[in-house]
Amino acid sequence: MVPNYPDALIARILRSVKSIAMVGASPNPARPSYFAMKYLLDKGFNIIPVNPGQAGKEILGQKVYAQISDLPAPVDMIDIFRNAEAAGPITDEAIANKDRLQLKVLWMQLGVINEEAAKRAEATGLTVIMNRCPKIEYGRLSGEIGWFGVNRRVIDNRKPFAFSQGGSLRRG
Amino acid sequence: MAEYGFDTLAVHAGAQPDPATGARITPIYQTSAYVFDNADQAAALFNLQVFGNIYSRIMNPTVAVMEERIAALEGGTAGLAAASGHAAQHLVFHTLMEPGGEFISARQLYGGSVNQFGQAFAKYDWHVRWADATEADSFARQVTDKTRAIFCESIANPGGVISDLEGIARVAEQAGVPLIVDNTLASPYLIRPIEWGAHIVVHSATKFLGGHGNSLAGAIVEAGTFDWAKSGKYPTLTDENPSYHGIRFYETFGDFAFCVAARALSLRDVGSCLAPQNAVLVLTGIETLPLRMKRHCENALAVAEWLARDQRVAWVNYAGLESHPLYPAHRKYCPKGAGSVYTFGLRGGFDAGMNLVNRVRIFSHLANIGDTRSLIIHPASTTHRQLSDEDRIKTGAGPEVVRLSVGIEDVKDLIADLDQAMG
Ligand SMILES: Cc1ncc(COP(=O)(O)O)c(C=O)c1O
C-alpha cells in the first residue's frame, strides 16, 4: 500500500525541523540527492550529509559524516536517500541514536517504503514519512513548484509570503 | 490531500493571490526574463536544482497557473502549456520519439492532426500507423517493436466519434507504451481520460477550455502513472542528459518527469511557448467550463433531435441520439453529454451543404470549434481539403457533410436559423 499523509502533517514537519541528516547524500551534482540537498540548503535548513565513502570531505560546503552514530546533536530529522532494504538498518541506527540526537522525524525518500522499519520507528515515538521527497513537498506546500506546472492539489485564498520566505507554508 | 470538486477546481486550481501585490486575479506577467538572486542561484536554476523562473520560453508564472489548473481538472500530476494544440502534440512526440520510431493513431482525427502525423512527423522519421477509434483490436494489430505510443481523440473531430478509451488503454498497457488522448472535444468536464488509463492528455485549449474563440493555446497533462524506465524505449526520460550535466529526468522528477523533460528540453529547443496574455484568457474561460459545457451539450442535443426529424436531413451523426450506434459509448464514457461538435448530411448533398453555410445568420461560417458562438463549416471544402477523397471519408468528412459546433445561445434561435438557411 502506498502510504498517504495529510498535508497538515507534512507542513508541520517542514515548518518545525531545522537540522536534517541526509543519509546517502551524493557529491555527484547529477544525482537527485544532490538536487534535494541544494534546494533544502537554499531554503535555510541545516543539512548534514551522511555517506561512509565521503566521510571527512564536504558536499555543498557541508562536512560529511560516515554514519548516524558520528553525528553531533541536535538532528531533528533523518532523510533516507537509500533503497528500501538499506532503510531497515539505517532506521535501527536512527532509533539507537534517537535520544542523543533529539531526533523527531524519520523520512524515507520517494520510492522508498519499508513498513517494518516504519513500525519500529513509530513505536519509539518517531514520526515517519515514506515515499516522499522533502524538496518536492516543500515546493508543493510553499506553492513554488507551481512554477513548473505541477498539480499541488492545494487551494490557498490568502496572499502568500514570498517563496524565499516559505510561501504558503510559512503561514500554516 | 483535500479532494475538491470539479467546479471548485475550475475556478481556483493553480491560482492564488499574487505574493507581491495581493492581486486576486492572476496577473499577466508580461516579461521575457527574470532577475536572478545571485550567480549561485542562477546556476542552480539552470541546472533545474531549484524551482524558479529563468526565461519565458521555458516558464512564465501566468502560464504556470493555466498549466496547473488544467492538470488539476484532468487529475494529472503536472501540466505544460504550448502556443497551440498542435504545438502541444509536437512537444509530446518530440519528447517520446526517436528517428525510425512508430506510433499508432486513431484515424478519426482532426484533419490538421492527420497532416501533422502523416507528413510533418515523417520529416523527423517518425511514422504513424492508423487504427479505428471504436475498435480497440485494430490498434493491437498495428503494434510492432518500433511502437512508442498510441494516440486517439476522446471525442473525435469532426465526426463526434466516441473512442473506446478503456479498450485502447488495455492495448497500450499490453504493448508497454503510453496512451496519449486528445481531450479537446470532450474537455475534462465530460471525460477524464486518465481515469480510463490514459498516460498523457493533450488539449487544444483554443476550443472549449478557453471557450470564447479568442486565443490559440495548447496543453499537455501527465498522469504520472507510466514507468518510463521499464522498456528502455524512452531515452529522453531515462538516459543521462548532456545539456543538464548528465541528470536523468525520470529518476530526478519521478511522477512529473515527462512534463519537466517536455519543458526543459523540447519546449526549450522547439520554442513553441504560450504567451501569458493568452494564458489569462484561457484561465478566465476555464472558470465557467462546467456551466458552458452543460449548456453546449443541452443545445447540441436539442439541435440534433430537431435535425433528425427534418425531411431535408439525410442523417445526423451525434452519439447523444438514442438511435446512434455509439449511444452506448456515450452513456459509458460521457453520460453528462456527447459534446457539441458533430456532423450531419443534407439530402441535397454537396450543393445543399454549401448553400446552408452561405445562408446562416447566427451560426458563423468559420474553421474553429468550442466557442460560445455557434459555428458551422463544410469540412470537405475547408479543414479537410488537403486530404485525399478516401482519407476525407475515413475521417468522417465526406462531400455532403456539414459540421456544427453548437454554442450556448437560445436553442430556439439556433434551430430557427438552421431552418431558414436550409431553405
Ligand atoms: C481535436 C483537435 N486537436 C487539435 C487541434 C489543434 O489545435 P490548435 O488549433 O490549437 O493548434 C484541433 C483544432 O481544431 C482539434 O480540433
Where are chain B's structural domains? 6-285, 290-422
Mean pLDDT of A97-118: 97
Mutate to test the interface with B, among A37, A148, A161 (most CBs of B within 10 A): A148
Question: Any alpha helices (H) in B263-402, and if so which ranges?
Answer: 268-270, 276-287, 289-309, 327-333, 349-359, 389-394
Q: Which of residues 50-89 of B touch A (CB under 8 A)?
A: 50-53, 59, 61, 64-65, 67-68, 71-72, 76-81
Give the number of domains in chain A. Answer: 1
pLDDT of residue B1: 44
- Are the beta carbons of A19 and A75 closer than 8 angstroms? yes
Place of cell 517542514: A14
Mutate to test the interface with A, among B16, B200, B250 (most CBs of A within 10 A): B16
In a domain, A138, yes or no: no
Mean pLDDT of A131-137: 95
pLDDT of residue A1: 65
Alpha carbon nearest to ligand 1 atom 16, residue: B110
- For chain B, percent of residues with pLDDT exceeding 70: 99
Letter string b/e over residues B359-368, b meaning 16 or more CB atoms within 10 A of that residue's CB: ebebbbeeeb
Q: What residue numbers bound the domain in which A22 lies? A: 7-133
Whether B179 has its CB under 8 Å from any CB of chain A: the answer is: no
> In sequence order, what are the residues at sequence separation of 6 or more whose Cβ sits closer than 8 angstroms to the Cβ of residue B230?
B176
Probe residue for ligand 1, chosen from B204, B215, B272, B395 as the CB with the greatest number of ligand atoms within 8 Å: B204
- Average model confidence (pLDDT) across chain B: 95
CATH 3.40.640.10 holds for B6-285:
yes
To the nearest whole Å, the CA of B378 is away from the closest chain A CA by: 38
CATH classification of the domain holding A42: 3.40.50.720
What SS3 state is found at A151?
coil
> pLDDT band for position B300 (50/70/90)?
very high
Helix (H) or strand (E) holding A33: helix A32-42
In a domain, A62, yes or no: yes
In a domain, A145, yes or no: no
DSSP A43: T
pLDDT tens track for B64-116 = 999 999 999 999 999 999 999 999 999 999 999 999 999 999 999 998 999 99
What global pTM score does this model have?
Answer: 0.95
Round to whole Å and give the CA distance between B141 and B403. 31
In a domain, A143, yes or no: no
| Lowest-confidence pick of A124-138, B69-83, B383-397 | B383-397
Mean pLDDT of B363-375: 97
pLDDT tens track for B39-62 = 999 999 999 999 999 999 999 999
> Which residue, among A102, A111, A168, has the nearest Cα to A141 in the 3D structure?
A168
* Residues with a CB atom less than 6 Å from ligand 1: B 84-86, 110, 112-113, 153, 157, 182, 184-185, 204, 206, 216, 218, 369
pLDDT of residue B182: 98
Q: Which of residues 218-277 of B touch A (CB under 8 A)?
A: 240, 244-248, 251-252, 254, 256, 259-260, 263
Mean pLDDT of A144-170: 91
Round to whole Å and give the CA distance between B41 and B51. 10
> Around Cβ B234, how many Cβ atoms within 10 Å?
26
What is the complex's ipTM, to 2 decimals? 0.91
In a domain, A155, yes or no: no
- Are the beta carbons of B304 and B405 closer than 8 angstroms? no
φ/ψ of B352, rounded to 5, equals -60, -35
Closest partner CB to B49 (pick from A35, A136, A153): A35
> pLDDT band for position B386 (50/70/90)?
confident
Mean pLDDT of B185-212: 98
Letter string b/e over residues B48-79, b meaning 16 or more CB atoms within 10 A of that residue's CB: bbbbbbbebbebbbbbbbbbbbbbbbbbbbbb
Round to whole Å and give the CA distance between B184 and B179. 15
Same fold, B6-285 and B290-422: no
Position B369 pLDDT exceeds 90: yes
The highest-level CATH class for domain B290-422 is alpha beta
To the nearest whole Å, the CA of B228 is away from the closest chain A CA by: 14
Three cell numbers, residue B256: 512529473
Residue B19 or B217, more confident: B217
CB-facing half-sphere around the CA of B341: CA atoms within 13 A: 32
Atom number, ligand 1, closest to the C-alpha of residue B86: 11
pLDDT of residue B125: 98
> pLDDT band for position B329 (50/70/90)?
very high
In a domain, A154, yes or no: no
Q: What angle do CA B167, B168, B174 make, to 5 degrees?
A: 95
